[in-house]
Amino acid sequence: MNGSQNSWVMNTRLRIARHHLLGATSLALAVAACGHEASAPPPAAAPVQVEVAPAKTQSQPTPGAASTGSTEGSKAAASTTPQSDPDPMPSPAAGSSAPGASDPALGRPKTTPSLRQGATTVTGKLPPEVIQRIVRQNFGRFRLCYEKGLAKNVNLGGRVTVKFTIDPTGAVSHLVDGGSDLSDKDVVACVVQAFSNLSFPTPEGGGTVAVAYPIIFAPGTTK
């Protein structure tokens, strides 16, 4: 074999070797690439964006509108508020009866009876003013008798005259009706009997004193 043939053979072998080397290198690179892809972690999931609607802001009223609303609200409140009576009627005091009220115990209009002394006749040694004063101090006894009659007749009125004698000890005796014109005889008898509990000073000289004492009863005004 000559030199040119040897050179061709060597070149051919070199090309074949280079070809094998390149093939092996490509294969190694491919295998390495596959291994890298297998061991690489999966890509992270992309974050999900959530769109949040912006919060609604409350619109502020304009100064003019606010003042107008306040004024209208004040007018509405003023129109619905009840007005107080500038001069209310005073309520009756506790325990007092209003005019025309009924007596709960008697079921009739309550009245203030009037009692007054008539012309007194005194025979004996005892001053008339002393006798009158003592009788007036006991008008409460006679008023009770009269109120019993008013419970039956609110218009009852008249004169009750009691004749009696004051003995030497100052006690009352000989009680009689001295001509009364009050129509209720029970009231007359009650008043006459009430005189029996009175006591007077002893007459001068130890004598007796005869007395005729009239009392005028009137129903008075209705309360």
Out of 102-116, 123-137, 164-178, pick the least confident. Answer: 102-116
pLDDT for position 33: 56
Does the pLDDT at position 12 exceed 90? no
> Which residue, 112, 116, 113, 208, is CA-closest to 163?
208
CA–CA dist 74, 67 (Å, integer): 10
pLDDT (tens digit per residue) in 171-223: 999 999 999 999 999 999 999 999 999 999 999 888 999 999 999 999 976 54
Q: What structural domains and CATH numbers belong to the chain? A: 114-218 (3.30.2420)
CA–CA dist 218, 181 (Å, integer): 12
Does the pLDDT at position 86 exceed 50? no
Looking at the whole model, is its pTM more than 0.75?
no
CB 215 within 8 A of CB 159: yes
pLDDT (tens digit per residue) in 29-79: 655 555 544 444 545 555 545 454 554 545 454 444 444 444 444 443 344
CB 210 within 8 A of CB 124: yes
CA–CA dist 19, 25 (Å, integer): 10
pLDDT for position 78: 41
Mean pLDDT across the chain:
73
